[in-house]
Chain A
Amino acid sequence: MMQITEGSHAVADAVRLCRPQVIAAYPITPQTHIVEALADMVADCELDAEYLTVDNELSALSACIGASAAGSRTYSATTSQGLALMFEVCFNAAGMRLPIVMSIANRALGAPLSIWNDQQDSISLRDSGWLQFYAEDNQEATDLHYLAYRVAEDHSVLLPAFVCFDGFILSHTYEPIDTLSQEDIDRFLPKFSPYERLDAADPISFGMYATPEYYLEFRYEMDRALKESKAIIEKRGKEFGQMFGRDYSAMVEGYRLEDADTAIVAMGSICGTTKDAIDEMREEGKKVGLLKIRVFRPFPTEDLARALAHVQRVAVLDKNISLGAKGAVALEVKDALYGSGIPVKGYVIGLGGRDVRKKDIKAIVGLIGKGQGDMFYGLRTEVL
């Protein structure tokens, strides 16, 4: 059924259909509407879950770790500073192999304080072992929650997952959403079956210490599980497509890329703007295409290299900056295309909510045509 819904409310509704048993979250802009809506659902008995009001985000994710270890399907949501406060326990959740799903309404990190969108928050946790999905629109944001639980809880994966969607740009925007029914989701997402769980009758500890003889191997196992999750994403994404008509088997998705000489690589809501810009450039005869990255962790290195093998140049749009180096996506794309001879340039754009328009995308295509890149795009040089 199609409904015009605010992004946050659509995500909250998708989470409800996933039947989480424990929700622990702390409100923070622009994630607030998600957790407010979920609190209402629990209070109104529309969702049979334990809703824990905690004193901060560190407590929120810590509570989720305990609940997940006890065998509950567990959910949280946060952004920016809240995610930064969870830094320590993010690594613990992954290391203990607990399939928690958390929505990230992407927002810039302070200082300086900014409540607006970029993707620095989740990107900064790229090494933590969480799966990272990025949504282009609110339909995708809702669907990726179903997929995230299905993949994370697979016993060959057992890793937590972020579902990232751009703060305000998506979270506070009303869009038509094809809402699925409880019966639909129950068919796709079976009851949570924990691999092992806390049980007083059969005591077990999670995340014990590892001496130097073992730690390296534990990290290797996490890396292997994350890389092997690619096959599970493909399988479950395809299954979702067969059931509901929206196929998420591909971790990267091309748009007018088949005959393109210039490819733009992007992630998140900016892909929509980029598609519109590409349509206009195509009318002018410019052969430009988009490769959208839907899954950033595990990084689809081989898929990306295959999809871009025929292009002459690649422009990567990064809504983040690994300070002192480059945008994180550009670094990955350069790695994936290393040795191919295809020039790759990165453009750091839209940080802290700076609007990215079609004219900006076109200007970047112009820049890469001249071989200029690996730069911040749109700097107001008069204030520097």
Chain B
Amino acid sequence: MKRPSTLTAYAFLYLVFLYLPVLFLPLFSFNSGTIVAFPIKGWTLDWYRKLGEQDTLIQALWNSLGVGTVVAILSTAMGLFAARAFVRYRFRGQRAAEGLVMLPLVIPGIIVASSMLVLFLFLGLKPSLLTVVLGHTFLALPFSVSILKSAFDDFDASLEEASYDLGVGVFETFRRVTLPVVSPGIIASMLVTFTVSFDEFVLAFFLSGNQPTLPVYIWSQIRFPAKLPNVLALGSILLLTSVLLLVLAEYFRRRSSASEVR
């Protein structure tokens, strides 16, 4: 066996750099002291217990769950059609259209947030959960389009042609052949877009008005040192949820590449 190279050592150090900061949140969420510093005073689950007693937090959680669900459905539905168009058909301006859909990824957040706030007020929409949904759907679309594009990429076009050849119509074919084959991709897209919305802060900060989502609630708590342990406990739960959702999404995305039609 070869001696591990400097490059391999560097790779492992880099992983430590990536994970260590994130892992401090859960670590200190079990700390009985209120100051986030070593040495750890003692271990406790109190901070987690106290989370359930806070009404504004529970309300913010429901807000985030609702927004995330609607965003997941909206962006995945639009992404599904767009991805199919981009993979299966060739048309003029296709590259431009694909580029346009990816644009939300590279516009600075503050500019998206401020300009959408201006637009929605111009259109007479008061900042609320509805405007957050509209904004988050915009941000989530590139993710659903790229996930579903790879789902359609792995999907053999001749399966649909075989279905037409056997006398089945366009909609029936979509329902009986296309949908089942790309459904893992759809699930992956829903999970990812939900997570994007659930974790997003800047847009929600600008657009949520007096209906805070969970990250906006956390932001309001960060300023008070006394609330810190609460934020840590809440943050740890969110971290765990996001990672679980993403691992699940990855599992479905893999399945979409390897799936067979039954």
Chains A and B come from one and the same complex:
no
> Which B residues have a C-beta under 8 Å from some C-beta of A?
none
